[in-house]
Amino acid sequence: MTTALFTHFACLDHVTPDGHPESPARLRAVLDALADPAFAGLARGECPRAEAEALAFVHPRHFIRHVLDNVPARGLKAIDGDTTLSPGSGEAALRAAGGAVAAVDAVLTGEARTAFAAVRPPGHHAEPQSAMGFCVFNNIAVAAHRARAHGLRRVAVVDFDVHHGNGTQAAFERDADLFFASTHQWPLYPGTGLPQERGVAGNIVNVPLPPRTGSDEFREAFEIAILPALDSFGPELILISAGFDAHVDDPLADLRLTERDFAWATGRICDIAAIHAKGRVVSTLEGGYDLDALGRSAAAHVKALMAA
């Protein structure tokens, strides 16, 4: 069965200040990499706008209105110390969350076995009532609740971005039927993600990694902590917060992974999905700020999804 790719050119219209690491060039790098003939078999679709009802499973309606009401007619407007809105940001944010929703729909209706949403702004730092860390709406959490609208009960997110997905954890930590597991550098922004943060019934699994952690240590952490917990949870769908800023070339952190590690982690997640979730995996783009490394890593990740 095929792998679906969802993106939208509106996601390029979310403009950030000069020199900001989360720039439109990130998405261009990913899409350029996925234009290679090796990806000709992808089923390509456009991200729809996320409906307010889908966003409201995660974000209160007053917060959704706050974001959209603060989109400037011109120039830039800060809504967090790291997060700004431009005139195209409202459309981009709705399309980013909508792409994650559409990816879930495609997988759960049988149109695809796996799917990747190549979107921005990213989402995993966005908490239910606050944008932060370059993120506006929490795309992956919105996608998880979309899966529940399809009748699924147990949904898991695995996050291998170098920064802890505090927003996803905040959205999941009180619901034992939602599972969140994260590997991330520690100490590092946003300062959350300690092992003792376990949610209810152990549905949160955090594996902080020290600076300069390399492939062997990362894979060991996955095999010892992440994969057994994911297997024990028994998800009906697995979502991936696919951040590639743990790459050795990334400027914002200090882990030592390569694109081969992201492909390996993706493959191992797909192995668990084959056991519990009919092979169904949906991924959405999070971080990654060295453009060459980001393109190579996203390509390796999508190849692993296609091979599952």
CATH number at residue 185: 3.40.800.20
Q: Which pLDDT score is estimated for 109?
A: 98
Q: Is the pTM of this model over 0.95?
A: yes
Tens of pLDDT, residues 108-134 = 999 999 999 999 999 999 999 999 999
Tens of pLDDT, residues 202-249 = 999 999 999 999 999 999 999 999 999 999 999 999 999 999 999 999
The answer on pLDDT for 201 being more than 90 is no
Confidence tier at 149 by pLDDT (50, 70, 90): very high
Q: Which pLDDT score is estimated for 18?
A: 96
Check: CB of residue 280 under 8 Å from CB of residue 110: no
Please provide the average confidence, as pLDDT, over all residues in the chain: 98
Q: Which pLDDT score is estimated for 307?
A: 97
Tens of pLDDT, residues 56-75 = 999 999 999 999 999 999 99
Let me know if 125 is a catalytic residue.
Answer: yes
Q: Which pLDDT score is estimated for 123?
A: 98
Residue with tokens 């990334």: 250
The answer on pLDDT for 153 being more than 90 is yes
Active-site annotation holder among 125, 145, 164, 247: 125
Overall number of domains in the chain: 1
Structural domain of 276: 3-307
The answer on pLDDT for 1 being more than 80 is no
Over residues 13-35, the mean pLDDT reads: 98
Nearest to 287 by CA among 260, 238, 239, 253: 253
